[in-house]
Amino acid sequence: MNNEACEKLYEAYYMRVFSYAMTIAGDRHLAEEITQETFFRAFSKLNGFRGESDEVTWLCAIARNLFNDEKRRQGRFGTMPEDAVSREKGVEQASVEREDSFRVHLALHALEEPYREVFELRVFGELSFRQVGQIFGKTENWARVTFHRARAKLKERMDEV
């Protein structure tokens, strides 16, 4: 694998992989680590990429596995770090945003899997239904149905919170 191909892959998909990692990790520092490790592993195994899915789907699957490994490791040795509050915003606006964000996260947290992850991949990760389906090893139609069910469940929970 040459450096130019690695650079193109990195430039093309860095933000999408980072967004996905941020969605599942909820912590900027951890998301950055997952993203870096994702590309490191991808570059070292790029010759083994069979092309059965899009490159971004493959990268997100690597990131998901890394996050799951980290969750298991943290489960044995402590807790996952919490997301820090941005210091750049005014106190009042940050307070309102935290409250709204908290309501959304409460409702999202109440969603059972795979609804929560499918919703996060589609909305926060900005992945297509086809890509979401590929991550789960399912069809595009499965991803669409699961997303719409997740959205309906989320609306119900938002009304409750």
Q: How many domains does the chain have?
A: 2
Q: Are residues 95 and 65 in the same domain?
A: no
Does residue 52 or residue 60 have the better pLDDT? Answer: 60
Tallying the residues shown for the chain, one arrives at 161
- How many alpha carbons lie under 13 Å from residue 17 in its C-beta half-sphere? 31
Which of 38, 53, 79 is a domain's end point? Answer: 79
Query: Within a domain: residue 72?
Result: yes
How far is the first Cα of the chain from the last one, in angstroms, to the nearest whole number? Answer: 50
Same domain, 50 and 102: no
Q: Reply yes or no on whether the pLDDT at 161 is more than 70.
A: no
**Residue 5 covered by a domain:** yes
The answer to the question of residue 43 being in a domain is yes
86 within domain boundaries? no
Percent of the chain scored above 90 by pLDDT?
11
Full residue range of the structural domain in which residue 16 is found: 1-79
Enter the tokens of residue 17: 């992989």
Query: Does the pLDDT of residue 138 top 70, yes or no?
Result: yes
Distance from C-alpha of 55 to C-alpha of 37, rounded to nearest angstrom: 16
**Mean confidence (pLDDT) of the chain:** 77
**Longest pairwise C-alpha distance within the chain:** 53
CA dist 63 and 69 (Å) reads: 10
Q: 52-75: string of b/e by CB count within 10 Å (b at 16+)? A: ebebbbbbbbbbbebbeebeeeee
Both tokens of residue 38? 């994702």
Question: What is the pLDDT confidence band of residue 128, given thresholds at 50, 70 and 90?
Answer: confident
Residue 28's domain is classified under what CATH number? 1.10.1740.10
Residue 104 has pLDDT above 80, yes or no: no
Residue 84 in any domain: the answer is no
The residue from 79, 102, 133 where one domain ends is: 79
103 and 71 belong to one structural domain? no
Q: What's the half-sphere exposure (Cβ side, CA atoms, 13 Å) at 89?
A: 11
Q: Which of 12, 44, 79 corresponds to the end of one domain?
A: 79
Which residue is associated with the tokens 């999408």?
16
**Is the previous residue joined to 81 through a cis bond, with omega within 30 degrees of 0?**
no
What is the Cα–Cα distance from 57 to 75, expressed in whole angstroms?
27
Q: Same structural domain for residues 49 and 111? A: no
Does this model's pTM top 0.85? My answer is no
Q: Within this chain, do residues 14 and 50 fall inside the same structural domain, yes or no?
A: yes
Please name which of 77, 61, 73 lies closest in space to residue 21, comparing C-alpha atoms: 61
Q: Is residue 28 part of a domain?
A: yes
For the stretch 23-37, pLDDT in tens is: 888 888 888 899 999
Same domain (yes/no): 15, 75: yes
Is 46 within a domain? yes
> Which CATH number does the domain housing residue 157 bear?
1.10.10.10
Does position 98 have pLDDT exceeding 50, yes or no? yes
94 pLDDT above the threshold of 70? no
Confidence of residue 139 (pLDDT cuts 50, 70, 90): very high
